[in-house]
Amino acid sequence: GENVEQHPSTLSVQEGDSAVIKCTYSDSASNYFPWYKQELGKRPQLIIDIRSNVGEKKDQRIAVTLNKTAKHFSLHITETQPEDSAVYFCAVSRPGATNKLIFGTGTLLAVQP
């Protein structure tokens, strides 16, 4: 079945620095790659997503890049702020009868003020 690996598992940065989280997937048919932010005890919140026909997408301080050949995609957060501290999950889905998400194992991002 589909496997999604996410690295690093923890990431600590200084406020204002950039943070990068990377995910690799195994199913080359995957075509949708969302990123979720989850604060402690809260719901996963969709922050950005990318589809397989696009290589990069930006939304203010966050961006996602996709390399379909290498089967990996990354989340980039610039000018980090303490409120960016959370667990970030990548996910993948493939076209078909279902759009179920297969999640990575999560990255705990800590932004030090």
Q: Among residues 32 and 68, whose Cβ is nearest to other proteins?
A: 32
* CB of residue 18 to other proteins, shortest distance in Å: 25
Q: Among residues 101 and 110, whose Cβ is nearest to other proteins?
A: 101
For residue 36, count other CB atoms closer than 10 A to its CB.
Answer: 21
Q: Among residues 20 and 101, whose Cβ is nearest to other proteins?
A: 101
* CB of residue 1 to other proteins, shortest distance in Å: 9
Q: Which residues bind other proteins (CB under 8 A)?
A: 32, 34, 36, 42-46, 49, 51, 89, 91, 93, 97-106
- Residue-level length of the chain: 113
- Strand runs labelled E in the chain: 4-7, 10-14, 19-25, 32-38, 45-51, 56-59, 62-67, 72-77, 86-92, 102-103, 107-112
Among 104, 33, 107, smallest CA distance to 67 is for 33
* CB of residue 96 to other proteins, shortest distance in Å: 9
CA distance 43 to 41: 7
Q: Among residues 38 and 78, whose Cβ is nearest to other proteins?
A: 38
* CB of residue 36 to other proteins, shortest distance in Å: 8
